[in-house]
Structure 1
Amino acid sequence: MPLYRFKALTRDGSIVKDQVEFPDLRALYQYIQQEGLVLIKYSSRPVFPWDRLTFKGVSRPELAELCHNLALLVRGGVPLFQALRDLREATPNPRLKKALGVLLQEIRAGNPLSAGMEREKGVFPGIVRSLAALGEETGRLDHTLEEAAQHLYRIHTIITQTKRAMLYPAFVLVAMTGALLFWLLFVLPKILGLFAQMQVALPAPTRFLMVTVSFLQSYIPYLAGAAMVLLVTSLILYRRFPWFRLHIEKILLKLPVVSRVKRSSILAFFFEYLALLLGAGIDILRSFDIMAMNIQSELCKRIIREMREGVLRGEGFRDVASRSGLFSPLDLRMIAVGEETGRLVDQLRYLARHYYEIIQGLVETLSKILEPVLIVVTGLIFLLIVIALIGPIYELISQIH
């Protein structure tokens, strides 16, 4: 499909410039006519791979706002084509503007909104595409788009809260490590060099500190290089190999503090996704497929596939969930009650709110819990350094007396 660049005149006399992919020149003329423009000039060329590259993506809040505004316009009686065109003119994001142009092309060609979203999978995740298709089938597009918007807002909040919970400990740990390395590499060598010139017997802590400082001074470039190589290699493996991500998640779920944050985040995602899809009328097997395609956690993906196979064999949702090892007895009890009473969606929504509140609580309390622990650890390290420095000074003073 060639890329057409054109300059046109609007009804109010202003000039607009744009570039859009069209199947042929006739499609361009139809677009100009429908937009009420007067074509001044145009040019066409093949679409190159770099034309599809964009440095700025579409964030989750931007997509949520788009779905919310589109739902409001459709609910207010605005034709879908006109609503998308208005939103395209209003958005400042070039990537989102391009995606909305694709949606307009599909609707202009007589295709549904979900067909355009399928062409722009990089912008519209699977859950949004599925909800849009469901809304078109049931005639409740405004409702499903609003559900998608609220879901994206909640998911963004969960991710933000989880990052905030992990950011403070990471920041403090990096600051502590930097301060300690500064002392070991720049401050202590000068002081310990003076002690080595003195004719005094050095205590064991001082000798140990001198050996440590000497080792770091000799091998710090190699250690830093090895750490950098390990970090880059880990990032490459994490991005490209699902098995590596799976093992990392299993390790995180065994760490004392991180495990609670990680587990709560995974379960909040799981229950939020499943409650939304089942509440929208999508059957549980299709819901599992959509979740497996869109959820980020490799561990959760594996559990979802295993649960889908169990349900496909005719087992109950609670039974397949109990074998995963991820869900707590409270989760399993709530799921069982939901299955027995026919209110599974309500129970899933309750569990999603429950774990969202847990994450919020962890964000508020984690810093209060870790701060004294980190202070004590830092204090002990510097106490050992002070003891190692005071020993030779005390020995020197004793010899003078």
Structure 2
Amino acid sequence: MPLFDYRIRTPDGRTESGRAEAENAAALARRLNAGGTPPVGIESVTDPSGEGTGAGLRMRGGRPRHEDLELFCRQMHSLTRAGVPIVRGLQGIAETTHNARLSAALRGIAESLEAGRELHAAMREHSAVFPALLINMVRMGEDTGRMEETFEQLSFYLERERETRQQIKQATRYPIFVMTAILAAIAIINVVVIPAFAGMFERFDAELPLPTRILMATSAFTLDYWAWMLGGMVAAVLGFRQYTRSGDGRLWWDRIKLRLPVIGSILERALLARFARALTMATRSGVPILEGLDSIGRAVDNAWVADRVVHMREALERGESLGRAAAGTGLFTPLVLQMIAVGEETGQVDDMMEEVARFYEQEVDYELKNLSSALEPILISIVGAMVLVLALAIFLPMWDLAGAAL
């Protein structure tokens, strides 16, 4: 397990150092925070053999990982709670982070703050490093003077996002492996197996069944035009990526993703949980709901859901209630709409939206646990269809030839 050196701030304000093992820096930060000693800095160390622990001793390039941003928010929460000036805190975090791009961004932000700029404006200059939701939430925290709570909520939000992504990866690992094996098997059958049987069947000069002729024709086409097929697939992938990066293309693809069998409902519930959690943070930070929806609409990582949020905001501007505006989006279930209506009537929209987030998160957890079971019948059907095609295409003519010989 990776080894880390850490510095903590004790309840009486002193700074102490130590060394501990943890899965990663974020896990160690959570452990230290739970013990009432917020970390000031965390650095990975080498093991006794002199080799790296695998925790990222050298600076990494590229965009910061989700774990890097989560640790950044936890450290900022600890520093603001301890009363450390933001510029000094950013400089300290820049020295301890293992992502070169994040470190450079934090140093640039510290310089901008020293020049008199606001934190959210300085962070917006590094929008390639920090997500829009994080920047907008920092702006809300500055407007309300509740930076400590803002970073605490952001760290919890990012932690929940990381756990959901890990669950999705774990649940889809087996289906992806099976589908890869199936595609490899189809390629081997077309390139190796079918041509071998085709030569044997041609020597008998017998009329072959229709499934056999189709499979042989498919194999011959693949062998003759494989270069064109490969080029066509590459062009299709590049064209698809280019189209989905455009405004209309992204809106179309993000909507299609939510309608995919089995996993579409999981993605939709995860996005709605993210929306509800972000709206909870915004309302608890004292941000007006219209301004909060505007920020969340830009921050949600799905163009279709963002478009629905914009319609929801427009309905509120026309004077409609929050419940009616939410119902007009077509995103929420009747139970969730009822919860929103109750929150609006009681003046506790933030509490109800937190319950909505928990509801969707529980739904996501349940569906992820059953994802493999839901995909197994589909995978079995695909494998069964392959076996059936092979049986009809290969064994039928062999049986015919054996019957003719007898």
TM-score by length of 1: 0.79
Distance 1:118 1:207 in 2: 62
Q: Which residue in 2 is equivalent to 1:349?
A: 354
Q: Per the alignment, do residues 386 and 134 of structure 1 end up closer, same or farther by CA in structure 2, a change over 3 Å counting?
A: closer
Q: Which residue in 2 is equivalent to 1:339?
A: 344
Question: Counterparts of 1:2-401 in structure 2 under 5 Å?
Answer: 55-166=61-172, 168-239=174-245, 241-401=246-406
Instruction: Summarize deviations over 1:295-346 as a string: whole Å, max 9, x none.
Output: 1211111111111111111111111111112211122111111111222111
Partners of 2:146 and 2:285 within 8 A in 1? no
Deviation at residue 111 of structure 1 after TM alignment: 4.0
**Any gaps of 5 or more consecutive residues in structure 1?**
1-53
Distance 1:168 1:246 in 2: 29
Greater relative contact order, per chain length (Cα 8 Å cut-off, separation 6+): 1
Q: Per the alignment, do residues 287 and 167 of structure 1 end up closer, same or farther by CA in structure 2, a change over 3 Å counting?
A: farther
Q: Could you tell me which amino acid in structure 1 is paired with residue 256 of structure 2?
A: I
Partners of 2:77 and 2:151 within 8 A in 1? yes
Distance 2:257 2:135 in 1: 32
Q: Which residue in 2 is equivalent to 1:29?
A: none
Partners of 1:162 and 1:359 within 8 A in 2? no
Mean Cα deviation higher: 325-334 or 255-264: 255-264
- Structure showing greater radius of gyration is 1
Deviation at residue 254 of structure 1 after TM alignment: 3.2
Deviation at residue 190 of structure 1 after TM alignment: 0.9
Q: Per the alignment, do residues 139 and 210 of structure 1 end up closer, same or farther by CA in structure 2, a change over 3 Å counting?
A: closer
Distance 2:305 2:376 in 1: 31
Deviation at residue 201 of structure 1 after TM alignment: 4.1
Deviation at residue 229 of structure 1 after TM alignment: 0.9
Distance 2:200 2:248 in 1: 53
Instruction: Summarize deviations over 1:264-312 as a string: whole Å, max 9, x none.
Output: 1221221121111112211111111111221121111111111111111
Distance 1:198 1:228 in 2: 39
Q: Per the alignment, do residues 248 and 187 of structure 1 end up closer, same or farther by CA in structure 2, a change over 3 Å counting?
A: same
Deviation at residue 88 of structure 1 after TM alignment: 1.9
Q: Per the alignment, do residues 376 and 112 of structure 1 end up closer, same or farther by CA in structure 2, a change over 3 Å counting?
A: closer
SS in 1 for 2:370: helix
Q: Per the alignment, do residues 243 and 148 of structure 1 end up closer, same or farther by CA in structure 2, a change over 3 Å counting?
A: same
Distance 1:213 1:83 in 2: 64
Partners of 1:318 and 1:336 within 8 A in 2? yes
Instruction: Summarize deviations over 1:335-378 as a string: whole Å, max 9, x none.
Output: 11111122211111112122222222222211122123312321
Identity over aligned pairs, percent: 32
Partners of 1:267 and 1:355 within 8 A in 2? yes
**Any gaps of 5 or more consecutive residues in structure 2?**
1-59
Runs of at least 4 residues off by over 6 Å: none
SS in 1 for 2:64: coil
Deviation at residue 195 of structure 1 after TM alignment: 1.1
Instruction: Summarize deviations over 1:39-98 as a string: whole Å, max 9, x none.
Output: xxxxxxxxxxxxxxx951122221121121122122123333332222222122211111
Distance 1:62 1:382 in 2: 47
Q: Per the alignment, do residues 103 and 214 of structure 1 end up closer, same or farther by CA in structure 2, a change over 3 Å counting?
A: closer
Distance 2:65 2:108 in 1: 18
Mean Cα deviation higher: 227-236 or 112-121: 112-121
Deviation at residue 167 of structure 1 after TM alignment: 5.1
Q: Per the alignment, do residues 143 and 190 of structure 1 end up closer, same or farther by CA in structure 2, a change over 3 Å counting?
A: same
Instruction: Summarize deviations over 1:203-249 as a string: whole Å, max 9, x none.
Output: 3332333233223333333232222211110011112x121111123
Deviation at residue 162 of structure 1 after TM alignment: 4.0
Deviation at residue 177 of structure 1 after TM alignment: 1.9
Q: Per the alignment, do residues 199 and 163 of structure 1 end up closer, same or farther by CA in structure 2, a change over 3 Å counting?
A: same
SS in 2 for 1:281: coil
Distance 1:165 1:279 in 2: 33
Q: Could you tell me which amino acid in structure 2 is paired with residue 210 of structure 1?
A: M
Q: Which residue in 2 is equivalent to 1:24?
A: none
TM-score by length of 2: 0.79
Partners of 2:61 and 2:100 within 8 A in 1? no
In the alignment of these two chains, the number of paired residues is 347
Q: Per the alignment, do residues 399 and 265 of structure 1 end up closer, same or farther by CA in structure 2, a change over 3 Å counting?
A: same
